[in-house]
Chains A and B, each alone.
Chain A
Amino acid sequence: MILSIYNFTLLTDKIHSFLSAHMSEEFVLTTELVLIGLLIVTFVAVLAMVLIYTERKVAAYMQLREGPNRVGIYGTGQVVADVLKLVLKEGITPNGADKLMFNLAPYIVLSTCIMALAPIAFGNGLVLWDLNIGVLYITSITSLGVIGILIAGWSSNNKYSMLGAMRSGAQIVSYELSAGLCIISIVVLAGSMQMSEIVNSQADGWWIFKGHLPVIVAFIIFIIAATAELNRAPFDLAEAESELTAGFHTEYSGMKFAMFFLAEYINMFVLCAMAATLFLGGWMPFHIGHWTTFNNVMDYIPSPLWFLGKTFFIIFIIMWFRWTFPRLRVDQLLDLEWKYLLPISMINLLMIALMNILGWHF
């Protein structure tokens, strides 16, 4: 049984009734919306800082060095210092650029990836909008980000940016297919697109344990596709430093550049959170069969901790990739998707569907 003390609907209900007791109805709604907005902005900013710090520390320890360690305790102040530095930088719009589009692109990229946070279940009852097509919503909203990237690359009027944007676009749309097929295979098993129902369907075991080999294959393909969709190494041709300086955001500086950076890390969180929810049970604690004592102990760990733990585990794997595999060539990258991952994930989806109909999973 999931412990009720960590049910966050109780908390939100309490806040709602407290506000209703003191204010009129419209004012309650406004207050709640403002609260949500502040919470989300804080969360996004803190998340990006934590991820940047993690990225630098992981990179450092993989290469047997210390990483940032001067500003603050263990270098934790480094990210804050970097943000301050970026704020103090001048934002340049080049003369040749399409000024409107150039300034519009960061808004599109950032707001789409923040919008993708809506249906993610952070804990038991801790979800902003638990809509019935949650998974479909996330896939469609995250794929809107590519429009922002193409606009940024095109409007810069810079050959590096243009090439980088085209490569990013081709790569993101290609890998979206196999990622989508892996998402569908979990929708088949869970019988719902709603995030909370997908999590609830894993109460007696996470899909990666219940679903035998096909789900493990789907999980691996999803991780590969997510890495490619994020334009991260080994799939970072779009911003291969030695060829294209920085890809589509070559011309961006100061805060506009920071917005692209922020969006990249939030996107990473969203995709890893998806992987954790679909395959590793979201906020569901780890349970083993009939070990009642063990299961009860696991229940005492709050659900948001479970969710964040799993998400950060997958984020760590993706960061690990970066220092393990060399960068691919464009033709190898597209071959990998169209000639290997797409056929494999299609057949895998059919196998999972058959398994589900015949009731072969646990």
Chain B
Amino acid sequence: MGNVSLIVLMACGIGFCGLAQLVSKLIAPSSKNLQKLQAYECGVPTIGASWIQFNVGYYLFALIFLVFDVELMFLFPWAVVNKEMGITAFIEIVVFIFILFLGLLYAWKKGALKWM
């Protein structure tokens, strides 16, 4: 079908989601009060905001992820022509992966992979 089908799929997702909510809104009973609209936590009014500073551990993992995800993108073109390029490209990729692997070892040694 070609790339038009992408737009159709996206429209399907958005339309389905919107329609389901519209139908629900039309036929579902609705009664709103202050208690109901509170955040669901423990039954009493919540203390403090949820939008606060967060544990740095998550961001360290996100940073390492970024490096390896870019590596993944570089590997895709090589993977397709792997057979034709032969052993030369293979050795180059070994060097490439080895350097990134050293990076992982460095992060490991520095304790970036340790939780808390």
**Which candidate, A63-71, A250-258, A277-285, is the interface stretch facing chain B?**
A250-258
Q: Does B9 contact A (CB under 8 A)?
A: yes
Partner of A177, one of B15, B20, B68: B68
A335–B112 Cα gap in the complex (Å)? Answer: 11
Inter-chain contact A107/B86, CB cutoff 8 Å: no
- Chain A contacts for B10, CB-based, 8 A: 111, 114-115
Contact status of A357 and B83, CB under 8 A, knowing A156-B39, A176-B69, A335-B113: yes
Q: Does A174 contact B (CB under 8 A)?
A: yes
A105–B94 Cα gap in the complex (Å)? Answer: 41
Inter-chain contact A187/B80, CB cutoff 8 Å: yes
Inter-chain contact A339/B69, CB cutoff 8 Å: no
Residue interface mask B12-39, A partner, CB < 8 A = 1: 1111111011011101111110101111
Q: Does A72 contact B (CB under 8 A)?
A: no
A343–B113 Cα gap in the complex (Å)? Answer: 14
Main secondary structure of the interface of B (DSSP, over half): helix
Residue interface mask B38-51, A partner, CB < 8 A = 1: 11110000100111
From residue B110, how far is it (CB to closest CB) to chain A in Å?
A: 13
Partner of B90, one of A157, A338, A353: A353
Q: Which residue of A lies closest to B25 (CB)?
A: A91
Partner of A91, one of B21, B61, B94: B21
Q: Which residue of B lies closest to A171 (CB)?
A: B61
Q: Does A259 contact B (CB under 8 A)?
A: yes
Near B by CB (< 8 A), chain A positions 346-360 give 346, 349-350, 353-354, 356-357
From residue B17, how far is it (CB to closest CB) to chain A in Å?
A: 5
Inter-chain contact B40/A251, CB cutoff 8 Å: yes
A95–B30 Cα gap in the complex (Å)? Answer: 16
From residue A153, how far is it (CB to closest CB) to chain B in Å?
A: 9
Partner of A95, one of B14, B20, B38: B38
Inter-chain contact A159/B62, CB cutoff 8 Å: no
- Chain A contacts for B1, CB-based, 8 A: 32, 36, 128-129
Contact status of A158 and B58, CB under 8 A, knowing A37-B8, A177-B65: no
A112–B9 Cα gap in the complex (Å)? Answer: 9
A23–B5 Cα gap in the complex (Å)? Answer: 20
A87–B24 Cα gap in the complex (Å)? Answer: 5
Inter-chain contact A338/B104, CB cutoff 8 Å: yes
- Chain B contacts for A315, CB-based, 8 A: none
**Which candidate, A52-60, A162-170, A223-231, is the interface stretch facing chain B?**
A162-170
Inter-chain contact B116/A129, CB cutoff 8 Å: no
Inter-chain contact B17/A106, CB cutoff 8 Å: yes
From residue A261, how far is it (CB to closest CB) to chain B in Å?
A: 11
Q: Does A33 contact B (CB under 8 A)?
A: yes
From residue B30, how far is it (CB to closest CB) to chain A in Å?
A: 5
Q: Does A184 contact B (CB under 8 A)?
A: yes
Q: List 19 A-B contacts (CB under 8 A).
A: A44-B12, A86-B24, A94-B37, A111-B10, A115-B6, A129-B5, A161-B50, A169-B58, A170-B58, A177-B65, A187-B76, A187-B79, A191-B82, A245-B40, A251-B39, A258-B20, A259-B20, A330-B115, A334-B115
Q: List A residues at the B interface (Cβ < 8 Å).
A: 29, 32-33, 36-37, 40-41, 44, 86-96, 106-107, 110-115, 117-118, 128-129, 131, 136, 154, 156-162, 166, 169-170, 173-174, 176-177, 180-181, 184-185, 187-188, 191-193, 245, 250-251, 254-256, 258-259, 330-331, 334-335, 338-339, 342-343, 346, 349-350, 353-354, 356-357
